Structure 1
Amino acid sequence: MIINISDLMKRSNVDSINIDFEDKIDIIEICGKIIKILEPIKVTGIITTDGEIANFIGEATLKFQTECDRCINDYVSTFIMKMEEKFTNDSYSDDETEYYQMNDNKIDFTPVINHNLHMSMPMKFLCSEDCKGIINRGEIDTNEFSPFAKLNKMFKNQGGR
Structure 2
Amino acid sequence: MKITLNELIEKRKESIDLDITIPVGEIGMINEEIEIISPVSLKGKIFHDDDSIYLEADIKTKAECICHRCLQKFQMDIENHIHEKLTINEEEMEDYYYINKNRLDITEVVDNVLVLNMPMKLVCDENCQGLCLACGVNLNKEQCDCESDQIDPRLAKLKDLLLND
Per the normalisation by structure 1, the TM-score is 0.79
Which residue is 1:27 aligned to? Answer: 29
Q: Which AA in structure 2 matches 1:60? A: I
**Whose strand proportion is higher, 1 or 2?**
1
Task: Note the alpha carbon deviations across 1:58-101, whole angstroms, 9 max, x for none.
Answer: 1211201011000111101111111111111112549xx92111
Unmatched 5+ stretches in structure 1: 151-161
Any idea what SS the aligned residue of 1:121 has?
coil
Aligned residues of 2:137 and 2:144 also touching (Cα < 8 A): no
Which 4+ residue blocks in structure 1 deviate beyond 4 angstroms? none
Aligned residues of 2:132 and 2:144 also touching (Cα < 8 A): no
1:40-51 correspondence runs (5 A): 40-51=39-50
Which residue is 1:90 aligned to? Answer: 89
Paired positions, count: 143
Cα gap change, 1:5/1:107 in structure 2, threshold over 3 Å: closer, same or farther? same
- Return the offset for 1:147: 7.2
Per the normalisation by structure 2, the TM-score is 0.77
2:119 aligned with 1:117: no
Which residue is 1:18 aligned to? Answer: 17
RMSD: 2.3
- Distance in 1, Cα, partners of 2:7 & 2:86: 15
Give % identity: 27
